[in-house]
Structure 1
Amino acid sequence: MSVNRKAAEEILEAIGGKENIGAATHCVTRLRFALNDESKVDKEELENIDLVRGSFSSNGQFQVIIGQGTVDKVYKELVEVAGIEQSSKQDIKDNAAKKMNPIQRLVKVLADIFIPILPAIVTAGLLMGINNILTGPGIFFDEKSVIDVYPQWTDIAGIINLIANTAFVFLPGLIGWAAAKRFGGSELLGMVLGLMLVHPDLLNAWGYGSAEEIPAWNLFGLEVQKIGYQGQVLPVLVATYFLAKVEIFLRKRIPDSFQLLLVAPIALLLVGFASFVAIGPITFTIGNWITDGVVGIFEAVPAIGGLVYGALYAPIVVTGMHHTFLAVDLQLIASTGGTFLWPILALSNIAQGSAALGYMFVTRNEKLKGLAMTSTISAYLGITEPAMFGVNLRFRYPFIAAIIGSAIAAMFITINGVKAPSIGVGGIPGIFSIFAQDWGAFLIGMAIAIIVPFILTYIFGKTRKNEA
């Protein structure tokens, strides 16, 4: 019997048998189950299986960490052993959604919208980091940037900046595409609506504050400002929701032969007018209120704000609600030019990796040592699930150590005003997405997030008797 077949049989038994499986699929590293009764899972037996690196439940899904390259092989064997049909990720999400409360459903909606566009945003963040290195003064030369000393690099930096900024300039287009897909509408219409909100004929949102005169349309006596929504999140989210509902309404009532000619023009026209007349201005104001509120708290008590957010971010990840903060980060970037929340995320991920590294030096179990080592590397590169669910939460004290280290590091960088102009890789490479002038403070924060969790985990572990 192959190793993968054996693991599949053992996993099936540990999760309560095939009768307990509502649906099953997998992602890059994990098996994902919608179980009928999670109380039937024997976690101890499950996590003693050789190929299993950990397990956790989130948003109605029970997930078993296997690892990249192996998970698809185990999944194929599992489907064959259990005699079940292969399910899509959407099947799992739909099955899990039945068990969610309203808040969890809202978080799931935001996750479904932002996760598909995250690669574009992260890529933009990394490229902006390269641009920061080339254009930031004082990094390699006293009070001068690379392009000041080597002018021949100026246009190269300009092209890199253009490529990097594209995802943020046309962010409403990306959100419109993902939101329309989530709400059941046409992705193409959602993208068109999003791009319409950043049309070049509109006043750029980033120039709104400094504009001497705001251009406007006169609609039968009603003055409507011609303002774009570059970088904004709420306007396109709400507008796309209504677009999808209008499109669905029209498709049910217009004959198939006329749908191509009528559905899209009517839907875009109605929602387009509504976006500029009401949806855009109202949600733009709400977005600014949210931004002002978050900024106000962190400006009034930066030490407490950083300490609390740094301590709570990892527990928020456990609940799955961390996806909501991506929208807040993007709103902060659009409104203030940078986010002070995302750097804390990067340090929290590093802290989780450091706690797992500390556990590697504590445990005598060779399997756990290997799991802790690979989990550390993964967390340092921005993927924390193996470290968080496979090691730290499993043994509790590493998770507590990570929270303490993250809180202290977050407090330090918040006091020093560290910000990121974009969202990048949430780990050690995250420094390239930080404003160049903040690198020194962020490096100290990284050192805290590496050293404190490691030492605390090591001390906690050595004081425990018979540590595995």
Structure 2
Amino acid sequence: MNYKESAQKILEFVGGAENVQSVTHCSTRLRIIIKDQEKIDVKEVEALDKVSGSFFNFGQYQIILGTGVVNKVYEEFAPLVDGQTANSTEETEEKQKMTFQRAIRIFGDVFVPIIPVLVATGLFMGLRGLLTQEAVLGVVGLTPEDIPQQFLLFTQILTDTAFAFLPALVAWSTFRIFGGTPILGIVLGLMLVNSVLPNAYEVGQQAAEPLVFFGFIKVVGYQGSVLPAFVTGILGSKIEIFLRKRIPNSLDLILTPFLTLLIGLTLALFIVGPIFHEVEIGVLHAVEFLLNLPFGIGGLVYGSFGQLLGIFGIHHILNFLEISMLAQDGWNYLNPIGTCGNMAQAGAVLAVAIKTISPKMKQIAFPSALSAMLGITEPAVFGVTLRLVKPFVMSMIGGGVGGFLASIFNLRANGMALTGIPGTLLYLNEQLPLYLLVNLVAFGVAFGLTWTIGYKKEQEL
């Protein structure tokens, strides 16, 4: 079955185009907001060869297709739904009450499009770290002093640009999701990091002083900041929508962008920025406090229970924390602990795959285990472990043990969004052996517990 046929079948089994309110997707799941849940034939959807599972979460029917596949199926699916696209949710969701669930979904929609850029940036950082290591250079008879300055400058452009202009990326995506004009979001975000403002990194290192307005408001650039740009994007898009409804068409082209940028920047520099930058720092300190609890307690807790975030659909909130960590000091402290949970899922699912006597279970579990090793756990969680319950508990234990060790060893990544086997690219330094060790431990503990007490081979889906 090709992607077009899969899209057509999915649409048929969810009740047709008239039952679809809007559709979007993330890295692994097709996310459909349904009008009447009773019209969905879940068994038929999950029986399709490209579908690993499905579930309802936060008002969405989410169909697990896997990385790469979901993009192709979505491209075929979206045109079938009366011309709706991934960004067509504004009109329909505008009528909905803002709930915690919807807020988390929107938060994820804003940050998911930014992640590929940050993944690439993390890989650039890892490769630069590898190529500039003394041991690696020694193989070809060089030392760090032999590296040309032009090469270092070139790599600096690759690694620093995304974080230096991060507010522009966040504001662009926020405008896009909230119905504003994305180009205005980009410009408003760039204003937050304009070179005439004191650089946030230099102010933090006390190499520069913030500007002081009205005798008490301190203004700096917001390089690497997330929350100020996010809130500014929300306000800016709402301002633009408000103005477009009230300004005559003959003046819209002139006044709407002018007033949107003027009001948006004023709010951003003097109210939103100072307040939410402090909130952002406070949240980061709280998370770092948890992760730095003595005796590896923080790693044990997050490694065990972090896997639950994906089930409840609120794992995207971690994107903000990881992006903020990387922007602040270049290190991601959540990644090495979270990746242990992924590898633990792989271990638990592989144990099920080998032990089961069910052909259907084997068909699902083997590829799901490989997928989890590569960092995509939805097929493993929703297709195997969560359905069987005990293997999921075993994976939580394995993830907790691995997270405990990662915390004890003080592991930290130089990027984000890569875990498991691909995640090794974020540890191309002296941490690599320890990264491999904690993941092997997480995998082994989950595999062993699932094999011995967590699964009976007679169990079937």
Shorter-chain TM band:
0.7 to 0.9
Cα distance change on mapping 1:41 and 1:355 into 2, 3 Å: farther
Structure 2: gaps spanning 5 or more residues: none
Q: How many equivalent pairs are there?
A: 459
Tell me which of 162, 165, 184 is aligned to 1:167: 162
Q: What is the aligned partner in structure 2 of residue 200 from structure 1?
A: 195
Letter in 1 for 2:238: K
Letter in 2 for 1:180: F
Q: Is residue 431 of structure 2 the alignment partner of residue 438 of structure 1?
A: yes
Question: In structure 2, what is the Cα distance between the partners aligned to 1:269 and 1:32?
Answer: 36
Within 5 Å, which residues of 2 pair with 1:8-407?
21-23=19-21, 27=25, 30=29, 32-36=31-35, 38=37, 47=46, 52-66=51-65, 85=82, 87-90=84-87, 102-137=99-134, 140=136, 148=143, 151-152=146-147, 155-211=150-206, 213-216=208-211, 221-222=214-215, 224-301=217-294, 303-407=296-400
Contact 1:420 1:435 in 2 (8 A): no
Question: In structure 2, what is the Cα distance between the partners aligned to 1:175 and 1:78?
Answer: 25
Deviations 1:397-435, CA, capped at 9 Å, x for gaps: 222222111111111111221112321413321122237
Q: Please state how far the C-alpha of 1:176 moved relative to its aligned partner.
A: 0.8
Q: Please state how far the C-alpha of 1:257 moved relative to its aligned partner.
A: 1.8
Tell me, what secondary structure is at the counterpart of 2:375? coil
Cα distance change on mapping 1:111 and 1:467 into 2, 3 Å: closer
Question: In structure 2, what is the Cα distance between the partners aligned to 1:211 and 1:35?
Answer: 52
Contact 1:337 1:421 in 2 (8 A): yes
Question: In structure 2, what is the Cα distance between the partners aligned to 1:42 and 1:257?
Answer: 50
Cα distance change on mapping 1:10 and 1:173 into 2, 3 Å: closer
Contact 1:356 1:392 in 2 (8 A): yes
Question: In structure 2, what is the Cα distance between the partners aligned to 1:99 and 1:226?
Answer: 36
Letter in 2 for 1:179: T
- Scaled by the length of structure 1, the TM-score of the pair is 0.84
Q: Please state how far the C-alpha of 1:23 moved relative to its aligned partner.
A: 4.6
Q: What is the aligned partner in structure 2 of residue 455 from structure 1?
A: 448
Q: Please state how far the C-alpha of 1:164 moved relative to its aligned partner.
A: 2.3
Q: Please state how far the C-alpha of 1:52 moved relative to its aligned partner.
A: 4.0
Cα distance change on mapping 1:244 and 1:12 into 2, 3 Å: closer
Cα distance change on mapping 1:100 and 1:53 into 2, 3 Å: farther
Deviations 1:312-353, CA, capped at 9 Å, x for gaps: 111110111011111111222233442211222222222222
Tell me, what secondary structure is at the counterpart of 1:322? coil
Cα distance change on mapping 1:260 and 1:432 into 2, 3 Å: same
Q: Please state how far the C-alpha of 1:114 moved relative to its aligned partner.
A: 0.2
Question: In structure 2, what is the Cα distance between the partners aligned to 1:256 and 1:414?
Answer: 58
Q: Please state how far the C-alpha of 1:11 moved relative to its aligned partner.
A: 6.8
Q: Please state how far the C-alpha of 1:20 moved relative to its aligned partner.
A: 9.7
Question: In structure 2, what is the Cα distance between the partners aligned to 1:423 and 1:466?
Answer: 36
Question: In structure 2, what is the Cα distance between the partners aligned to 1:76 and 1:187?
Answer: 25
Q: Please state how far the C-alpha of 1:98 moved relative to its aligned partner.
A: 7.9
Letter in 1 for 2:345: Q
Tell me, what secondary structure is at the counterpart of 1:386? helix
Structure 1: gaps spanning 5 or more residues: none
Letter in 2 for 1:167: A
Q: Please state how far the C-alpha of 1:101 moved relative to its aligned partner.
A: 6.9
Contact 2:23 2:31 in 1 (8 A): yes
Question: In structure 2, what is the Cα distance between the partners aligned to 1:408 and 1:226?
Answer: 44
Tell me, what secondary structure is at the counterpart of 1:264? helix
Q: Please state how far the C-alpha of 1:211 moved relative to its aligned partner.
A: 2.2
Question: In structure 2, what is the Cα distance between the partners aligned to 1:227 and 1:6?
Answer: 53
Cα distance change on mapping 1:226 and 1:43 into 2, 3 Å: closer
Question: In structure 2, what is the Cα distance between the partners aligned to 1:162 and 1:426?
Answer: 25
Cα distance change on mapping 1:141 and 1:261 into 2, 3 Å: closer
Q: Please state how far the C-alpha of 1:135 moved relative to its aligned partner.
A: 2.7
Deviations 1:111-131, CA, capped at 9 Å, x for gaps: 111011111111111111111
Contact 1:55 1:64 in 2 (8 A): yes
Cα distance change on mapping 1:91 and 1:235 into 2, 3 Å: closer
Deviations 1:14-60, CA, capped at 9 Å, x for gaps: 76x55994457575765544345546767567645655432222222
Question: In structure 2, what is the Cα distance between the partners aligned to 1:192 and 1:158?
Answer: 26
Question: In structure 2, what is the Cα distance between the partners aligned to 1:331 and 1:48?
Answer: 40
Deviations 1:162-210, CA, capped at 9 Å, x for gaps: 2122111111110010011122222111111111111122222112133
Question: In structure 1, what is the Cα distance between the partners aligned to 2:450 and 2:395?
Answer: 8
**Runs of 4+ off more than 3 Å:** 2-15, 17-52, 64-80, 84-101, 144-147, 152-158, 221-226, 460-468
- Scaled by the length of structure 2, the TM-score of the pair is 0.85
Name whichever of 348-357 and 44-53 sits farther off: 44-53
Question: In structure 2, what is the Cα distance between the partners aligned to 1:115 and 1:280?
Answer: 23
Question: In structure 2, what is the Cα distance between the partners aligned to 1:430 and 1:399?
Answer: 22
Q: Report percent identity of matched pairs.
A: 32
Question: In structure 1, what is the Cα distance between the partners aligned to 2:292 and 2:332?
Answer: 13
Name whichever of 162-171 and 65-74 sits farther off: 65-74
Contact 1:124 1:424 in 2 (8 A): no
